[in-house]
Amino acid sequence: MVERPRVPDFVSALISAMLSKRTVSDVTHQLSLVSVSVQEVESILYELLEALESHDYGLRGVWFHEFLGTLLEVYR
């Protein structure tokens, strides 16, 4: 059995990719798997939003669009 990364690992990977303008598709693919519960995805996305808001650095316009794109990728 392959162990999935913990919630903070997903959040860290998403933040790193978003802020460095890399693709988040590797992480969003893992989050969209059937084996990941909706509650887990909800928790990860909530923690991601909290982390982005707490380290805004005046770049809300930049990361907010990235966050919305991430939401769409996970939804697909």
Residues 34-75: pLDDT tens digits? Answer: 888 889 888 988 988 888 888 766 666 677 777 777 877 777
Q: What is the pLDDT of residue 21?
A: 78
Domain boundaries, the chain: 7-75
Structure tokens at 73: 């990728």
Across the range 2-22, mean pLDDT stands at 76
Structure tokens at 37: 């519960």
b/e per residue, 23-46, with b = 16+ CB within 10 A?
ebeebbebbeeeeeeeeebeebbe
- Whole-structure pTM value: 0.72
